[in-house]
A = this chain, B = another copy of it.
Amino acid sequence: MTTIYDIARKVGCASSTVSKALNNSKEVSDKRKAEILAVAKELGYVPNSSARRLATKNSWSIGILFSEDLNIGLEHHFFSGILQAFKTYVEDLGYEVTFVSKKVGTQELTYLEWCKYKDIDGILIVTVDVNDENLNELRQSGIPIVSVDSGLINVPTVISDNFQGTRMVLEYLMSKGAKRIAHIAGPLRSFSALERLEAFKEVLGKYNMDSSQVVEAYNYDFNSGKKALHELLKLNKTLPEAIYAASDDIALGVILALRDLGYKVPDDVSVVGFDNIELTRYTSPSLTTVAQDKVRIGREAAKHLIAQINKEVDTEQATIKRVPVELIIRESTK
């Protein structure tokens, strides 16, 4: 590993001059600069990040907080999409992204301790156990934080506009003549599920319609959708005219369950999902759904975090940024 001293020796100057040249300081003449840069290249010089960080107190690194405890980590399509967009954005600015861990070597650390240890510039919370004690510490530490889709109090959050999405779905269904609309909510420990449910009640309430036909799915997945549909039918013998599901996976489960029971979608009942996962374009019937803009969510989160890091925005202020969604009309509604 070659260091600035090696360069200095070869050029015949002081290490401080090399450092300045490498950082393009104007305290070094152009001639010297060129000379130093040439030697640096010749020797294959790469700076040492630890030394630099130690000296500058500037880490250029961002931590990603994925709760390992919940099983809903990286594998979830929605979150990995967001992460991808986030990563791209901040790496373009020169930041490095690292997963926040609870260990270093063999030693156990809290999240905050780990962040201090790594001297992290900011953190993105993707999925997390809301009840995790360690989070409070983190929030109060003053380290810039942003979360996506989390519902954490006191943390700036970027999330799809669940109200807008729900409104579009319901108004569309009503415009098609639906009078009785049911909702398969997502698991209510999830913030988005709560918002969608709330919006469902609010919108239907505004139109003086029955908003009581609600079943909570245990999870956001296909199988929970199937189960939830059966519960819904137990609750109320007659089929609603439309079903608004809190996720595409749930919606697909609902459609399959309906089909198994001999009902036709959309002839007997319309079904709408939420997410716009790739697959929904291709299923039969293809699914009417609300498209979440993963790229934009990731990017907005990145922007806001960087703004905090650069002190362009107040860290204390827990804003919530709602990203517009889009209603995608396909074959599962009529």
Contact = CB atoms under 8 A, between A and B. Distances in A.
Interface string A26-51: 00000000000000000000111111
Interface of A: 1, 46-51, 53-54, 59-61, 68, 73-75, 77, 80-81, 83-84, 87-88, 91-92, 94, 96-99, 101-107, 109, 113, 116-119, 221-223, 226, 252-253, 256, 259-260, 278-279, 281-284
A222 B278 contact: yes
Contact of A74 (B74, B99, B252): B74
Given A50-B53, A75-B77, A119-B50, A94 B84 contact: no
16 contacts: A1-B116, A46-B113, A49-B50, A49-B118, A50-B51, A50-B59, A68-B88, A74-B81, A74-B83, A74-B84, A87-B99, A94-B103, A94-B107, A96-B99, A97-B99, A226-B282
A279 B287 CA distance: 15
Contact of A98 (B81, B97, B102, B117): B97
Contact of A48 (B61, B87, B119, B278): B119
A222 B103 contact: no
A282 B223 contact: yes
